[in-house]
């Protein structure tokens, strides 16, 4: 089957009014990726060599989004919504190019797996003209039933049209199907609209193909694979299913999740074996973690690279561009953005490091800030290997702290510090004997006077 060409036609023109959103329904995200992008990924994993997105509502927004997640996909606009058969024919130009297989999919089924699609394509390779993907929901009520006879699919019957016997069928239509490319346009062009809604239903090709002596079969996918999203409650359910799958994959690959149900992955999270993730950790897009790292509780990480045996958190925030090298540590209540923390360097407590390099084995004291932004432009701070920055220091960029440099606690550093130098950037301490007692007495007297006046 690897030699067979395949076009995936993904229907994504629905307005999704039940989402109560100005954004097209299929652009709502699962694991940080638009649900239609999950469908595209599944199609490509099943061998689709072409992708045709049929769009309508929010067409320009859809095109912009598609350019990011499917830059090679073609878009076709369904000007009028006249049914699923009409929607597929909006991509007539792509279908007519002679693909062996046509996969018809829906942009609001983000959990569909490549395996279900491959199984349908395999039936085409074996000679079927149409392979409909079915599933068995907990309750079939409301779904179209797949009516089979002698291992062949003879009809898709909407519930309102089902006989009492057909209503007992638990095998239901998931909406998706594979159609042999050589028959696709012939079948689609025969679909009529003589029904209550005057719409062209894709499901009619089952009986059309059967009447023409073509082989029509059904394949089965899991209920989760076929789950369609119509509102935000169902979106949350799909997110939960996706996360549960991903957590299990991670644990089976050697990652320890202490409280799996509290860890949230992005669609592209990469995490190495022997990494330990504590409870309540959120991974946004673009995170890569090597083996043996430990991510402590309540950390928020996105767009970051974490090398082996690093230690992060608890309550750490790594923003895009954070690059932690081997055995680096970013501790509690620290934020790192667009900065490299080199091997063995420590950023332990209550610190912000942005647009910077922290050299190998350097130590950054609590409360340190790289002052990287003047309201208009960003500037770089370079902290050399083995440097020591005392607590509560402000490093005003652009500035360089040399290798082995030492910054006294409480300093504001505005000029570069040479290698192995000690820098003070604070006022000299002055001690006045007895002045503390005098101040306390003055403040107490003033407070008593205010209280008496209030009475």
Query: Active-site positions?
Result: 349
| Pairing outcome for strands 282-283 and 300-301 | parallel
Task: Please state, in angstroms and rounded to a whole number, the distance separating the CA atoms of residues 267 and 39.
Answer: 13
Contact predicate 148/165, CB 8 Å = no
Helix, strand, coil share of the chain (percent; to 5)? 25, 30, 45
**Cis status, amide bond into 398, omega within 30 of 0:** yes
Buried b / exposed e along 149-158 (16+ C-beta atoms within 10 A): eeeebebbbe
CA 63 – CA 122 distance, rounded (Å): 31
- In the chain, DSSP finds a helix count (H) and a strand count (E) of 9, 35
Please give the full DSSP string across 120-177, using - where no structure is assigned.
Answer: HHHHHHTT-SEEEEEE--S--TTSPEEEEETTEEEEEE-GGG--TTGGG---EEEEEE
Three-class SS state of 326: coil
* Cβ neighbourhood burial of 233 (10 Å; 0-12, 13-18, 19+): exposed
CA–CA dist 241, 115 (Å, integer) = 17
Cα–Cα dist 337/348, whole Å = 15
The phi, psi pair for 407, rounded to 5°, reads -110, 120
β pairing state of 172-180 and 101-106 = antiparallel
Record the tokens describing residue 124, joined without a space. 């085409």
Q: Are strands 145-149 and 152-157 parallel, antiparallel or unpaired?
A: antiparallel
Classify residue 243 by its DSSP letter. H
Phi, psi of 328 (to 5 degrees): -75, 155
**Which residue has 């297989």 as its token pair?**
101
How wide is the angle at C-alpha 117 spanned by C-alphas 114 and 120, nearest 5°?
150
Residues 231/225, Cβ–Cβ less than 8 Å: no
Torsion of CA 248, 254, 257, 258, to 10 degrees: 120
Which of these, 240, 242, 270, 241, lies nearest to 255 by C-alpha position? 270
């Amino acid at each position: 089957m690897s030699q067979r060409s395949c076009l995936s036609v993904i229907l994504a023109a629905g307005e999704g009014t039940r989402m109560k959103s100005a954004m097209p329904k299929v652009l709502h995200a699962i694991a940080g990726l638009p649900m239609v992008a999950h469908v595209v990924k599944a199609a490509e994993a099943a061998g689709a060599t072409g992708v045709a997105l049929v769009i309508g509502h929010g067409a320009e927004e859809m095109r912009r989004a598609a350019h990011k997640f499917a830059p090679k996909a073609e878009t076709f606009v369904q000007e009028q919504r006249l049914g699923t058969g009409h929607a597929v024919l909006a991509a007539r130009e792509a279908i007519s190019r002679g693909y062996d297989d046509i996969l018809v999919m829906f942009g609001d089924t983000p959990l569909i797996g490549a395996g279900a699609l491959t199984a349908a394509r395999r039936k085409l390779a074996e000679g079927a003209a149409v392979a409909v993907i079915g599933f068995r929901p907990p309750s079939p009520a409301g779904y179209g039933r797949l009516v089979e006879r002698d291992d062949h699919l003879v009809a898709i019957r909407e519930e309102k049209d089902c006989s009492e016997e057909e209503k007992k069928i638990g095998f239901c239509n998931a909406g998706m199907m594979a159609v042999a490319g050589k028959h696709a346009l012939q079948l689609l062009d025969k679909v009529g609209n003589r029904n209550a809604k005057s719409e062209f239903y894709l499901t009619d090709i089952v009986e059309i193909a059967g009447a023409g002596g073509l082989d029509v079969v059904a394949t089965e996918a899991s209920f989760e694979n076929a789950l369609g999203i119509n509102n935000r409650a169902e979106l949350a359910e799909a997110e939960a299913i996706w996360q549960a799958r991903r957590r299990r994959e991670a644990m089976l690959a050697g990652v320890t999740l202490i409280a799996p149900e509290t860890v949230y992955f992005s669609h592209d999270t990469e995490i190495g074996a022997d990494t330990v993730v504590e409870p309540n950790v959120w991974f946004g897009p673009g995170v890569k973690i090597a083996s043996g790292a430990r991510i402590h509780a309540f950390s928020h990480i996105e767009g970051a690279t974490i090398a082996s045996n690093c230690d992060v958190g608890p309550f750490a925030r790594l923003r895009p561009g954070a690059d932690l090298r081997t055995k680096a540590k970013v501790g509690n209540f620290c934020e790192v953005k667009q900065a490299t923390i080199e091997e063995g360097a420590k950023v332990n407590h209550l610190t912000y490091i942005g647009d910077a390099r922290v050299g190998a084995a350097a130590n950054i004291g609590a409360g340190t800030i790289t002052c990287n932004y003047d309201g208009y432009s960003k500037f770089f701070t370079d902290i050399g290997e083995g440097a020591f920055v005392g607590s509560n220091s402000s490093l005003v960029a652009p500035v360089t702290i040399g290798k082995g440099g030492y910054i006294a606690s409480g300093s504001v550093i505005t000029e570069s510090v040479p290698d192995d130098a000690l820098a003070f950037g604070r006022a000299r301490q002055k001690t006045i004997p007895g002045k503390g007692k005098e101040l306390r007495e003055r403040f107490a007297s003033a407070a008593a006077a205010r209280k008496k006046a209030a009475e």
